[in-house]
Amino acid sequence: MAMTLRLTPDDEHALALLAEADGVSKQEATVRAIHEAASRRLRQDKIRTLSAGARERYADLLARLGK
């Protein structure tokens, strides 16, 4: 599915710089940026979930350490 990406001139310039720095096309730079952002978001969500579980599991210990 082909999509049109509308960028401001500043965004277009930033994308061109990113693509040049990585030695890839603007298309490839865009795809890489999307994948990196998705991966980062998924890692953050997983860390939040694991952290919440650990805080619940060790709530008594954490309470004792806080005193």
Domain boundaries, the chain: 9-66
The alpha helices in 8-58, defined as continuous H runs, are 9-22, 26-57
pTM: 0.66
Render the burial of 27-66: b for 16+ CB within 10 Å, e for the rest.
eebbeeeeeeeeeeeeeeeeeeeeeeeeeeeeeeeeeeee
Residue 49 in contact with residue 57, Cβ under 8 Å? no
> For 10-63, what is each residue's pLDDT tens digit?
999 999 999 999 999 999 999 999 999 999 999 999 999 999 999 999 999 988
Please name the residue that has the structure tokens 């030695």.
Answer: 23
Confidence of residue 67 (pLDDT cuts 50, 70, 90): low
Rounded to 5°, the CA angle 43-45-50 comes to 95
